[in-house]
């Protein structure tokens, strides 16, 4: 459903990569690194707050208007029980990708090219722009195990196809959880390496 896909797309636009880049450029990241709180958790908290704001002032009103004006009722089924957890895991995966891209700012002063490339790849391969059902079968088999489809396609499928067997949703959640863990480990290793080459204000 395009309306649901658009709402989720807006919900996940936290710009964490640009947030990190700006902190490096203005030097304020030094303050964050000296704070008694993990930098990744600090960035995640800010992203979650931004997403909650988007959910409250954009996503909910938009869905309410669509529901009242168009009457686009979604089918009811067991998939909705898995939808909240799938949405949370999708948000964490989206954040992890933004966070890893943001960490490249430790190496380069310009994030635009890397960030735009990430946006294009995620939008194209996640199902946000073109439903994955439109891709060839062989491509779909590959995409279902990549992190990109776990961001948009996974939660949207749970909401729009709630009558699937429970095993289908469990498999989707397992793939999402695996990518949360994998990207979490990768982001930690990348941060530990990147922070050693950090240079701000010529220091």
2-16, 146-160, 177-191, range with the lowest pLDDT: 2-16
Q: Which tens digits make up the pLDDT trace of 12-57?
A: 888 899 999 999 888 888 888 888 889 999 999 999 999 998 888 8
Bigger pLDDT: 39 vs 73? 39
Instruction: Report the half-sphere exposure of 64 (CA within 13 A, side-chain side).
Output: 7
Compute the average pLDDT of residues 161-177.
93
What was the pLDDT predicted at 181? 97
112's tokens: 């635009």
- Examine the pLDDT at 72 and tell me if it is beyond 60: no
Q: Which tens digits make up the pLDDT trace of 91-148?
A: 999 999 999 999 998 888 778 899 999 989 988 888 777 778 888 888 888 888 889 8
User: At 16, which helix (H) or strand (E)?
Assistant: helix 16-26
Q: What is the DSSP letter of 76?
A: P
- Examine the pLDDT at 203 and tell me if it is beyond 50: no
Task: Report the distance separating Cα 16 and Cα 102, nearest Å.
Answer: 7
- Examine the pLDDT at 193 and tell me if it is beyond 80: yes
What was the pLDDT predicted at 134? 84
Could you state, in order of their start, the residue ranges of all structural domains in the chain? 2-197
Residue 1: pLDDT band by 50, 70, 90 thresholds?
A: low
Compute the average pLDDT of residues 165-181.
95
Q: Which tens digits make up the pLDDT trace of 143-153?
A: 888 898 899 88
Task: Report the distance separating Cα 149 and Cα 11, nearest Å.
Answer: 16
What was the pLDDT predicted at 131? 78
């Amino acid at each position: 459903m395009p309306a649901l896909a658009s709402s989720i797309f807006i919900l996940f636009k936290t710009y964490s990569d640009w947030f990190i880049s700006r902190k490096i450029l203005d030097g304020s990241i030094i303050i964050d690194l000296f704070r008694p709180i993990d930098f990744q958790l600090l960035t995640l908290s800010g992203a979650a707050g931004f997403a909650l704001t988007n959910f409250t002032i954009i996503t909910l009103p938009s869905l309410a208007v669509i529901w009242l004006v168009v009457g686009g009722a979604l089918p009811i089924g067991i998939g909705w029980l898995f939808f909240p957890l799938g949405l949370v895991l999708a948000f964490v995966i989206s954040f992890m990708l933004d966070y890893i891209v943001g960490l490249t700012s430790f190496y380069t002063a310009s994030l635009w090219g890397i960030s735009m490339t990430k946006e294009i790849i995620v939008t194209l391969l996640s199902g946000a722009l073109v439903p994955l059902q439109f891709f060839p079968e062989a491509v779909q088999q590959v995409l279902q195990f990549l992190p990109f489809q776990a961001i948009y396609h996974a939660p949207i499928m749970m909401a729009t196809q709630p009558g699937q067997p429970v095993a289908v949703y469990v498999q989707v959640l397992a793939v999402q959880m695996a990518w949360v863990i994998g990207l979490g480990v990768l982001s930690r290793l990348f941060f530990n390496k990147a922070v050693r080459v950090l240079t701000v204000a010529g220091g």
